[in-house]
Amino acid sequence: MMPGRNVLFPGEHRSFAVMLRGTRQKDHGDDTRAVQQQQQRGERSSVHKRVVAGLLALFAAVIALMVLAQPASADGEQLSGRIENRVEGVKTPLAGVTINAVGGGFEGSATTGEDGTWVIPVPAQGEYAVTIDVTTLPEGVGLTDPEKVTFVTTVKPPNINRVVIFPLGQSTATTTSLWEQAAQLTVSGLQFGLMIALGALGLSIIYGTTGLTNFAHGEILTFGALATWTFNAGFGLPFILAAFLGLILTALFGWLNNAALWRPLRKRGTGLIAMMIVSIGLALLLRNLYLFFYGGDKAAYAEYAGLAGLSFGPVSITPTDIVSMVVAVVALAAVVLIIGKTRMGKATRAVSDNPSLASSAGINVERVITFVWVLGAALAGLGGILLGFTQQVSFQMGFQILLLIFAAVTLGGLGTISGAIVGSLVVGLFLQLTTLVIPTELKSVGALLVLIVILLVRPYGLLGRRERVG
Amino acid sequence: MDWGYIISVMIVSAFGVEAIVFGLAAIGINMQFGYTGLLNFGQSAFMAVGGYSVAVTVIELGANFWWGVVIAFAVTIVLALLLGIPTLRLRADYLAIVTIAASEIVRLILRSVTFKEIFGGSDGQFSFGADFFALSPLPEDLAFRIGPVVLNERQIFVLIVGWALVFLSCLIVWLLVRSPWGRVLKGIREDEDAVRSLGKNVYLYKMQALVIGGLFGAIGGIIYAVGNEAVSPDFFGTDTTFFAYAILILGGAARVFGPVLGTVIFWAIIQGTDVFLRSAIDIGVPVLSLMTGTQAAVVRFMLVGLGIMLLMIFRPQGILGDRRELALDAR
């Protein structure tokens, strides 16, 4: 790309046109004004059409991908669950465990299948007591809380498929030293931090160049994972090929996002806050399209699921974890190099510093923005694909990680590149290491609280420039 | 297809408890976003504080319902101050990120096993409205019928009180925004620096708007709690906040009756679509009946998302609003 070639000074060009329009209006009075208004209206309606056509293209792409996947959810009221034994994060499904449900004059029972799942369809909405028959559990496995044999649960909208969870584990508590736990958590924190960084870097450069706080960024991440899963588990392609195709599709999806929605909006001069709210609408729409076509269940890729962990001293780590960490580091380093060393990267930094100055210096701003969208989406897609290993693929995986991405970006300083990466690693480590002191279910609470505290002390982030952001 | 049933469901939902709850939440957002330009993406946290304060006060502390309302207001003010102090001096998107984070913090704490003894975990709390319903002057066997939908005496009482509160809130908003205080708020929305240069303490005004808007949200949460006689944490997720935003933008931001009109139309459309799709599946309408029931339930969320996008792009002023007044722009 040669930014120096197509010099049209877009910014000045535009203001020139405005000036012309203004003077003409003064000279000719009402007749011409009416004509002009008509012209403007014509322009605006063609922009309207472009926006609508863009939106349609965007959804058509999403739907086309997803029609290929089969809907997964069942119909009607039911109680369901999956009985798994969980030892140090490794889950094994238990078959042949009996579950009973009683309520509203109804009695039903089910036995878990090979994959550990059970379903009891219930006749009506209402309250049901669900009991696990502990005598059918295999030797050495018990409830982590022996009191909790029975759960009382209510089946009513919106939860007409009620999932009941029995916490299982080794009956005897395992004892590991604090240091061993800390070492294990540091590794998993670094890994999670790298996944967050892949999302955060894209979010940050898109914010830097366009000013858009994109609440639909998590859905791009989900897109990558779902596309890969579709190729892998749906079409039976080998995982590496599926991931490659998924990554390309996600980059295209990012390009489409920009070309179909955000570029027309920028052309119309839509404000940044309005665009932020549009991105919320888009996130809601995409997330529920995913839910519509893929259902609410989590799914694993067809290969590399449930590999045994390799032990390095106190740290146990699966081969997929190692590979995904290496891939993430390579991808992040590549992007840092691209932005730091190449001509396009230099142009990107110029645009994020001052778009109008960059454009008057001969940089094609729209081209830079397209590049940034494709790059950002590809990074997010990679994050989603890798996250699919540790968390499995689901329609809301991106949404669930989005706030942590925001926390990381804000922590490092909005719009800075090194800040996004450092912020992500800090958030990832913090998330995992705090579980030494606070319950695991509250770890996100801690990370989000830190975000608020950081904003109190260093609103420009850890690595951001000290400047006025108010 | 039973159109009579669909239409009566639409009427009942247009004026039902959810319409009231989200109307009040949207009135609060209108105060913050419509008039002051503050992007509060954590309205669901204020609603949760309202609903849960009442539930926990009655069930866990064994106190009177009305003490719960007092506590709800107190906690709401504290929450608004906590969120406002670090962020109101910063750019608008910081407030957005912090408030949405805060709403997730509140939801995660409410549904956690750690605090199950207090908040009831993911099932929430049930039946705490006795003191509220004791005030009801309505006869016990009263029933109101709209087509096949029947409302009992308790539901009617909640609706009467709820709509009275909605209109009272509108009156308060109307009085506030036409006062000199309200003009300062609009000034902040239009040009913060100009207002600051006139010697006004912008920070203080923003804080007041955040607190007042939060209080309307808390009232909404209380109505939700008594209307269902239950609170559950997952109702107070981010989707709830964005539903309220959709309602506000639909009706028209920076208009006193915008949220009210918005909520009536919003719920009629949303529940109408839901019932329509379900009955279409039941009687086997071609194409539509390819959907399952769960898929049909998802359609409403897609509609809300699409609605937010299209409204924001093509008609950001909503039904009642004035495009010139509401110049939503970066600040």
pLDDT in tens, A310-338: 778 778 888 888 999 999 999 999 999 99
A-B CB pairs within 8 A amount to 159
Tell me the shortest Cα–Cα distance from A10 to chain B, in angstroms.
22
Residue A280 lies in a domain: yes
Q: Residue A170: enclosing H or E segment and its boundaries?
A: strand A168-170
Rounded alpha-carbon distances, angstroms, from residue A465 to A207, A339, A418, A433, B34: 16, 18, 12, 28, 32
Tokens found for residue A42: 């014509």
Contacting residues of A for B96, CB less than 8 Å apart: 213, 276
Looking at residues A46-55, what average pLDDT do you find? 65
**Confidence at residue A162, expressed as pLDDT on a 0 to 100 scale:** 62
The percent of residues in chain A predicted with pLDDT above 90, rounded, is 35
Measured in whole angstroms, the distance separating CA B15 from the mean position of its chain's CA atoms is 14
Contact (CB<8Å) A452/B85: no
Residue at a domain's end among A105, A137, A170: A170
Segment among A174-183, A381-390, B95-104, B224-233 with least mean pLDDT: A174-183
Residues A337, A189 within the same domain: yes
Q: Which of A170, A204, A223 is the last residue of a domain?
A: A170
Q: State whether A281 and B309 contact (CB < 8 Å).
A: yes
User: What is the C-alpha to C-alpha distance for residues A431 and A436, in angstroms, rounded to an integer?
Assistant: 10
Same domain as A227, residue A282 = yes
The parent domain of residue A123 ranges over: 78-170
CB contact under 8 A, A272 and B302: no
Question: Per-residue pLDDT tens for A236-258?
Answer: 999 999 999 999 999 999 999 99
Domain assignment of residue B80, given as a range: 17-236
Whether A286 is covered by a domain: the verdict is yes
- Which residue type sits at A319? P
Closest CB from B39, B104, B313 relative to A444: B104
- A264 and A163 in a single domain? The answer is no
The answer to whether residues A109 and A128 belong to one domain is yes
Supply the pLDDT for residue A272.
86
Nearest to B330 among A273, A288, A406 (CB): A273
The DSSP string of B48-103 is HHHHHHHHHHHHTS---HHHHHHHHHHHHHHHHHHHHHHHTTS-HHHHHHHHHHHH
- Encode burial over A286-307: b for 16+ CB neighbours within 10 A, e otherwise: bbbbbbbbbbeeebbbbeeeee
Angle A12-A18-A24 (CA atoms, 0-180°, nearest 5)? 135
Please indicate, yes or no, if residue A19 is contained in any of the structural domains.
no
Q: Is the pLDDT of residue B300 over 60?
A: yes
Q: Give the pLDDT confidence score for residue A286 in this predicted structure.
A: 96
- Model pLDDT, residue A17: 32
Of A469, A466, A382, A376, nearest to A420 (Cα)?
A376
What percent of chain A is modeled with pLDDT above 70? 70
Where would I find the beta strands (DSSP E) of B181-329?
230-231
A109-124 confidence digits (pLDDT tens): 777 777 777 777 777 6
Residue that is last in its domain, among A170, A189, A218 = A170
Tokens (6 digits) for B47: 């609603």
Residue A384 sits in the same domain as residue A444 = yes
- Alpha-carbon distance of A257 to B129, in angstroms, equals 48
Number of domains in chain A: 2
Statement to judge: residues A248 and A273 lie in one domain:
yes
Phi, psi at A299, each rounded to 5°: -140, 150
- Tens digit of pLDDT for each residue in B73-132? 999 999 999 889 888 887 777 888 889 999 999 999 999 988 988 998 888 988 888 889
Which residues 275-314 on chain B approach chain A with CB closer than 8 angstroms? 292-295, 297-299, 301-302, 304-310, 312-314
Q: Is residue B111 part of a domain?
A: yes
Rounded to an integer, the average pLDDT of B160-164 is 96
Question: pTM of this prediction?
Answer: 0.78
Domain harbouring A88, CATH code: 2.60.40.10
Residue A419 and residue A313 share a domain: yes
- Which helix (H) or strand (E) segment holds residue B107: the answer is helix B92-111
A276 and A164, same structural domain?
no
Q: Do B305 and A286 touch (CB under 8 A)?
A: yes
Task: Please determine, for residue A160, whether its predicted confidence score (pLDDT) is greater than 90.
Answer: no
- The answer to whether position A463 is within a domain reads no
- Domain-located, residue A45: no
With cut-offs at 50, 70 and 90, classify the pLDDT of residue A16.
very low
Contact yes or no for A97/A142 (Cβ under 8 A)? no
Tell me if B319 is assigned to some domain.
no
Query: B6-58: per-residue pLDDT in tens?
Result: 999 999 999 999 999 999 999 999 999 999 999 999 999 999 999 999 999 99
Q: Count structural domains, chain B.
A: 1
**Whether pLDDT at A82 is above 50:** yes
Degrees, nearest 5: CA angle A433-A434-A440: 105
Q: Can you say how many angstroms the Cα of residue A101 is from the centroid of all Cα atoms in its chain?
A: 36
**Residue in B89, B104, B295 closest to A448 by CB:** B104
CATH code of the domain containing A239:
1.10.3470
Asked if A405 and A427 sit in the same domain, the reply is yes
